Amino acid sequence: MSRCFVVLGAGRFGQLAVTRLADRHGAGAITVVDDQPDERAFATTSAIQSVRAEGIDYLSEQLPGLPPESIIVPAIPVHVAFEWLLRDLAPDGPVERAPVPDDLGLPNESTGPTGDRYVSYADFLCPDDCPEPKNACPVTRTRRGTPMHRRIAELSCPTLPVHCIRSEQLAPGVGGYAVARLLELRQTLAGLAGTALVGTACSCHGVVSALRRLPSKSTA
């Protein structure tokens, strides 16, 4: 069965993702979503469909109709899974972005402009075509240890549950996750009371955000 990919973002990393996915999964269909796509970048490949839309808008509107095995490839500078959840859970009751703990105990932590915590085994700029070998960094040759997606998930505790989606390597330097994983996460968090951490990570790098369910206002 051909795999279907939805690449969010048509900038440099989105274009690299499309090229590498087409090389490795040539029989699959690729949809590129960007609010200002450069149509010329994909004109040579008829199997690539370009959609003019903002990435999270597209997921909010189209994800329920996508096949569960379709793969989302984030190539925009936001925590895609979290931003989609923040919007998709809102009809069930008020939710908001909450502060992430200052020190998660993970390597090379830094804070993004919206408060997301970025973590990485690398303290250098990784090559954009990293093959993500199983046990060791291809640049330093040192052993990686516990994969980052597992380290984030292991932060979970009764007072602060943590849910982490693993970003699977699809091609060198290209990661993504199935629509089914997003839907599973949405179902898990539907009954959230209080705060939970939501992460997305591969073996080496990750991002963690915090989601808080607010008490519903009384209509009495």
The string of pLDDT tens digits covering residues 140-166 is 998 888 999 999 999 999 999 999 999
- Dump pLDDT digits (tens) for 45-88: 556 888 999 999 999 999 999 999 999 999 999 999 999 999 99
Q: What is the pTM of this model?
A: 0.92
Domain with CATH 3.40.50.720 in the chain: 1-77
Q: What is the dihedral of CA 119, 121, 126, 131, to 10 degrees?
A: -110
* Fold designation for 1-77: Rossmann fold (3.40.50)
pLDDT band at 41 (very low <50, low <70, confident <90, very high): low
* Long-range contacts at 147-150 (CB < 8 A, ≥ 24 apart): 147/201, 147/202, 147/203, 147/204, 148/106, 148/119, 148/120, 148/121, 148/201, 148/202, 148/203, 148/204, 148/205, 148/206, 149/199, 149/201, 149/202, 149/203, 149/206
Interior angle at CA 79, CA 85 and CA 70, nearest 5: 70
| pLDDT, the chain, mean | 91
